[in-house]
Amino acid sequence: MSRKFSCNPKTIKDAINANLLPILTVSGVTGGVVLGVILRYSRDGPWSKREVMYVGYIGELFLRALKALIIPLIVSSLVSAIGSLDLSLSKKIGLRAVAYYMTTTVLAVVLGIILVVSIHPGKGSDEGITKAGEARSVYTPDLLMDLPRNLFPPNLIQACFETYKTVIVEPKIDENDTRIEEWKRKYNWTEGTLPPKSEWDIGSDHSRALNIMGLVSFATVLGLALSTLGAKGKPLLSFFQSLSDASMVITSWLIWISPIGILFLVASMMIEMEDFSVMLGQLGLYFGTVVLGIFIHGFLVLPALYTIFTRKLPFRFLANMTQAYITAFATASSSGTLPVTFQCLEEKNKIDPRVTRFVIPIGATINMDGTALYEAVAAIFIAQVRGMALTIGQVVAISITATAAAIGAAGIPQAGLVTMVMVLDVVGLPAEDMTLIIAVDWLLDRFRTMINVLGDSIGAGLVYELSKKELEQMNINANGDVERPSNEIAMDTVESSKM
Ligand code: ASP
């Protein structure tokens, strides 16, 4: 039956009520842009860092509140989701999710490569590109080996605030050092200069960032263990289920403050941002290539996959996620957006929490299509600027490392820029060349975070549709009684919290 459009004030009021949050959020973004532009052009000189901090203060508070939910949400939701499924179903859901993550990441990289090779934004010179910032000193094998290291955190408490990282330190050399002769022979090294980086000493350090990979891996294993324990595991499972539901309730409260938080985050971004003149010329073309790729991937390729596998049109699903995209854009962090992503998926798209709470924490950690696409485009763009002709082998190497770099990037602002070093390294470009693209990275980061979140969400929707029958089967207990699906129960909790 087709619904007739009516201008009845009651219908309009109902429509506004039903979409109040997206309306408020979009107003928040618009208000932020207007406020930011007014403040920025209200004076001649630039704004100091302190002044920008004052403007963004409310936004910062909102972001801190969101971040506070990351640990309780990911740990409790993974443990409770995996713990309540039987092992074979966990395996199926897990495999489906990983197959989706890998396929879409590779598709994103390939799309990026096709675009950057055909548009050719790097014209063979860095004229007009201002180098900004500093390159970081890292070594590709160390970056790659740190990934599994962080999967096995030796101390879970430490994993809540620190991530392991290998550092290479300048070797201390004294006259009797036996390495001196060898370096002279091998590298023609002269005393008093620095030895090649491969000969530097290896040290360990920690960065002050949540080791989300370690927590995800531990929670997954704990969930699996609880599901094999059966009745004995019930008390702990119930604890995590309650924690997970309570975190979702807090999220639903927080979400109503998000329009205000977003308003101030966007306003401070408008004041702080670099002059748009950097977008003119080559860097603008590079920016356009990444954004075009990201949008084709997020709004054509992924929805098409969704439709092919679920035989459903994706528009409603995508529209229901608006709140999550906007939060991703405003915070530039897919981990920070995690609570909102959950909320949109479970409350608006009615995806079973056993799926969302299983696949979303993992997706937010390893599935970053936007980042993967950007890594590939950026590396090839820099090679083009440097006038380097890449062989097919090198392009393949870029694709593989871009995928690894996206998996390794944390869901925090500009994490992709750090792992970019290994993509450059694989084609022999120096890490310093990263500085060529830093000027526009702050904005690109926001777009790629949006697509990272969108990719995770479509993944959850797709895995849910593919696992629907098995989940329903699970709801039919041994006596043939139909249990209530846990999403209904979770929804009740969230609903009642609003009253
Ligand atoms: N900021 C991105 C995210 O949180 C990661 C990146 O590409 O830098 O998903």
CA dihedral in degrees (381, 384, 388, 394; nearest 10)?
Answer: 40
Residue 369 alpha carbon to ligand 1 centre in Å: 10
3-state secondary structure 103-122: HHHHHHHHHHHHHHHHHCCC
Strands (E), 130-268: 163-169, 201-207
Rounded CA separation 396/76 (Å): 39
Residue 177 alpha carbon to ligand 1 centre in Å: 44
What pLDDT, on a 0 to 100 scale, did the predictor assign at position 282?
A: 82
Most informative mutation of 66, 374, 449 for ligand 1 (most atoms within 8 A of CB) = 449
Write the class of the CATH domain 21-162+208-466: mainly alpha
- HSE-up of residue 450 (Cα within 13 Å, Cβ side): 22
What pLDDT, on a 0 to 100 scale, did the predictor assign at position 28?
A: 92
Most informative mutation of 212, 338, 368 for ligand 1 (most atoms within 8 A of CB) = 368
Residue 412 alpha carbon to ligand 1 centre in Å: 5
- Tokens 């590079």, residue? 286
- HSE-up of residue 141 (Cα within 13 Å, Cβ side): 4
Position 494 confidence tier, pLDDT thresholds 50, 70, 90: very low
Residue 41, burial from CB neighbour count under 10 angstroms (0-12, 13-18, 19+): exposed
Position 217 confidence tier, pLDDT thresholds 50, 70, 90: very high
Average pLDDT value for the chain:
86
What pLDDT, on a 0 to 100 scale, did the predictor assign at position 439?
A: 83
Q: What is the pTM of this model?
A: 0.82
Most informative mutation of 333, 374, 442 for ligand 1 (most atoms within 8 A of CB) = 333
User: Which of ligand 1's atoms lies nearest the C-alpha of 370?
Assistant: 7
The string of pLDDT tens digits covering residues 310-358 is 999 999 999 999 999 999 999 999 999 999 999 999 999 999 999 999 9
Rounded CA separation 492/481 (Å): 21
Residue 23 alpha carbon to ligand 1 centre in Å: 26
Residue 415 alpha carbon to ligand 1 centre in Å: 5
User: Which of ligand 1's atoms lies nearest the C-alpha of 335?
Assistant: 4
Residue 127 alpha carbon to ligand 1 centre in Å: 28
What pLDDT, on a 0 to 100 scale, did the predictor assign at position 144?
A: 82
What pLDDT, on a 0 to 100 scale, did the predictor assign at position 19?
A: 78
Q: Rounded to the nearest 5°, which phi and psi values hold at 137?
A: -95, 105
Q: Any residues with Cβ below 6 Å from ligand 1, and which?
A: 332-334, 368, 371, 409, 411-416, 445, 448-449, 452
Most informative mutation of 412, 420, 421, 441 for ligand 1 (most atoms within 8 A of CB) = 412
Q: Read off the pLDDT of each residue in 93-118 and give the average, rounded to a whole number.
A: 95
DSSP 273: S
Rounded CA separation 413/421 (Å): 16
Phi/psi region, residue 94 (left: phi>0; alpha: psi -120 to 50; beta: rest), is: alpha
Tell which wins on pLDDT, 5 or 151: 151
402 within 8 A of 376, measured Cβ to Cβ: yes
Q: What is the DSSP string of 290-322?
A: HHHHHHHIIIIIHHHHHHHHH-S-SHHHHHTTH
Q: Read off the pLDDT of each residue in 407-436 and give the average, rounded to a whole number.
A: 86
Where along the chain do its domains lie?
21-162+208-466
The string of pLDDT tens digits covering residues 52-71 is 999 999 999 998 998 899 89
Residue 186 alpha carbon to ligand 1 centre in Å: 40
Position 497 confidence tier, pLDDT thresholds 50, 70, 90: very low
User: Which of ligand 1's atoms lies nearest the C-alpha of 418?
Assistant: 8
Residue 181 alpha carbon to ligand 1 centre in Å: 45
User: Which of ligand 1's atoms lies nearest the C-alpha of 453?
Assistant: 9
Residue 291 has pLDDT above 80, yes or no: yes
Nearest residue (CA) to ligand 1, atom 6: 416
Residue 262 alpha carbon to ligand 1 centre in Å: 18
